[in-house]
Structure 1
Amino acid sequence: MRMRNKPWAEDYLLSHSDIVSIDLSRKGEIQSWFNKSQPIHIEVGSGMGRFITEMAKMNPHINYIGIERDKNVMIRIVEKAVEQGIENLRLLTVDAEHLTDIFGEGEVDRVYLNFSDPWPKTRHAKRRLTHANYLSIYKAILKSDGEIHFKTDNQQLFEFSIESMSQFGMKLKNINLNLHENEPEDNIKTEYEEKFSNKGFRINRLEASFN
């Protein structure tokens, strides 16, 4: 998600360094960033932040980390976190390819991938967040029983992801080709999800593990 460049974005994020970091180096010690040591769930590509902030409020027994590389977008998430006083939420402005520089082996319990960029051109397949290159990164930071929860409205990306995860030897479950047909009560809609489901797009979802 891209927004108009805000020259003051970095200064704003630095002024809230208690909850957001633009250059974090705490490999294996991420729990020290939180008030309590609890399971860690991360969302790679948090967009405007509705999903990660609502999840954190619903589950105070879990520590959440929203990852969004665009500083201009991250501002919106910080505003939500500050305004709502969410204590179990931290934010990182980094690219997913650097996750192993931040998290230690087995430090994360769950990874959320919500409406990731589909990168539709074949030559860009390696940029998709469910490509084998990224799956190897998630495997390195997830606990042995950790999971990836993936949602997308893009049918081609969903089919690619199923194939990519299967070839990687992952176990898939709860594959849903129309999530909102019988929507679970605990489903948190992202801003993007709400917009496109209202236009009639079907939402696909699955859960995957490496164990």
Structure 2
Amino acid sequence: MRQRNKPWAKEKLADYPQYVIASPDQFKGKWHDVFEKKQPLHIEIGTGKGRFLTGMAKANPDINYIGIELQDSIIVTALDKIIEEEIPNIKLMNVNAEDLREFFEKGEVDRVYLNFSDPWPKTRHAKRRLTFKHFLNIYEDILIDNGEIHFKTDNQGLFEFSLMSFSEYGMLLKYVSLDLHNSDFEGNIMTEYEEKFSNKGNRIYRCEVQFK
């Protein structure tokens, strides 16, 4: 989906260094020092407009969260939510997920969230999917031992591809739902896309997988 360009976004992101980390490589191995409290660190890759991230941070004040989003015109909306609600346990990074090893030490992250990632439906673009083995290798490097990925999408093709990718990588499938909103799962916090697609009648797929 094309997003309206916001030429002022970069300047606004720079105006809030308490929330937006401009040079995250400087904090590699020291992320506990960035937050008010030393507690587990969860990251969302492709945080979009921030509804999931802010909802999780408010619901779990004993966890620190970092939202990672490449497009500054999108992440600036997440920043607005954080400013409005003054959420202390969130930081944002306007960076590419390809570079996560530059920002986090091995074992520094406790959990990764992937929500409604770009499905890249063409076969030749499979390597760009955030559940492709190349990205799984990156996540494994920065996660704690037995670290988890929690993944949600409305795209059946991407979900099937991802389950296969997780399995072929040797990961443990801890939870799989083929219809999240009609399941007994409790505590689900929706993203903007999730609400939109669900209202159209689309099924929401979710899984939790763990590195061995």
Q: Give the match for residue 129 of structure 1.
A: 130
Q: Give the match for residue 6 of structure 2.
A: 6
Residues 177 and 183 in structure 2, CA contact (< 8 A), matched pair in contact too = no
Q: Give the match for residue 46 of structure 2.
A: 45
**Which whole-Å deviations, capped at 9, do the CAs of 1:22-58 have from their partners, x for residues lacking one?**
4321211111111111100000001111000000000
Alignment of 1:84-103 (within 5 A): 84-103=85-104
Q: Give the match for residue 198 of structure 1.
A: 199
Distance in 2 separating the partners of 1:130 and 1:7: 31
Residues 23 and 93 in structure 1, CA contact (< 8 A), matched pair in contact too = no
Residues 153 and 204 in structure 1, CA contact (< 8 A), matched pair in contact too = yes
Q: Give the match for residue 173 of structure 1.
A: 174
Q: Between Structure 1 and Structure 2, how many residues are aligned?
A: 211
Moved over 4 A (4+): none
Q: TM-score, normalised by structure 2?
A: 0.97
Distance in 2 separating the partners of 1:181 and 1:53: 24
Distance 1:2 1:77, change over 3 A: farther
Q: Provide the identity percentage.
A: 57
Deviation at 1:4, TM superposition (A): 1.5
**Which whole-Å deviations, capped at 9, do the CAs of 1:39-80 have from their partners, x for residues lacking one?**
000000011110000000000000000111110111111110
Alignment of 1:107-118 (within 5 A): 107-118=108-119
Give the AA of the match of 1:127. R
Q: Give the match for residue 159 of structure 1.
A: 160
RMSD: 1.0
Residues 48 and 75 in structure 2, CA contact (< 8 A), matched pair in contact too = yes
Unaligned 5+ segments in structure 1 are none
Unaligned 5+ segments in structure 2 are none
Distance in 2 separating the partners of 1:138 and 1:202: 27
Distance 1:172 1:193, change over 3 A: same
Distance in 2 separating the partners of 1:164 and 1:84: 38
Distance in 1 separating the partners of 2:180 and 2:99: 31
Deviation at 1:5, TM superposition (A): 1.4
Q: Give the match for residue 56 of structure 1.
A: 57
Distance 1:2 1:24, change over 3 A: farther
Distance 1:63 1:2, change over 3 A: farther
Distance in 2 separating the partners of 1:61 and 1:194: 26
Distance in 2 separating the partners of 1:181 and 1:6: 37
Deviation at 1:182, TM superposition (A): 2.2
Q: TM-score, normalised by structure 1?
A: 0.97
Residues 172 and 208 in structure 1, CA contact (< 8 A), matched pair in contact too = yes
Give the AA of the match of 1:67. I
Q: Give the match for residue 140 of structure 1.
A: 141
